[in-house]
Amino acid sequence: MKEYERKGLLERVNREAATVGADIPEEIEVQGEPIDLRSFVFEIKRRDSVPPGERERVEQAKRNLRRERLERLEPIEDNEVSYAEGEALAASIIGIDRALEALEGLDAADPETEARRQETADRKRWMNFLKKALGREDAGGGRTRF
């Protein structure tokens, strides 16, 4: 894959609004195990809040999805796949991000969790601003080395 194509894919998956209009995948394979992701997310979101017995299951699912996202992102970052494979990986990463957003939204009823999430988002926006202002951002949104 050409460098500009790789950078384009990385920019797409790291864009803040990448999940707007994206669908949660029907099924996804996480660590070799198929998961009915869409039905899981809708089952959990159907409730007003996550019951204490389900909270650990949801947290484990979020950890697994984050890990899977990183595993799918790595071949693009390291330029180990063709452009077509990279496109498929990018689409799956955006689907994972969409599912994570839906699951993260469940904690909005918990003020402490929401405050932590807002603080993390503010910190990320501030770091992105500083990188751009200091001219230290990789144009493709890839790994930045200082």
In this predicted model, what pLDDT tens digit does every residue of 32-86 receive, in sequence order?
888 888 888 888 877 766 777 778 888 888 899 999 999 999 999 999 999 999 9
**11-33: string of b/e by CB count within 10 Å (b at 16+)?**
bbbeeeebbeebebbeebebeee
Helix, strand, coil in percent for the chain, rounding step 5: 65, 5, 30
Kindly indicate the confidence band of residue 132, based on its pLDDT and cuts at 50, 70 and 90: confident
Whether the model pTM is above 0.85: no
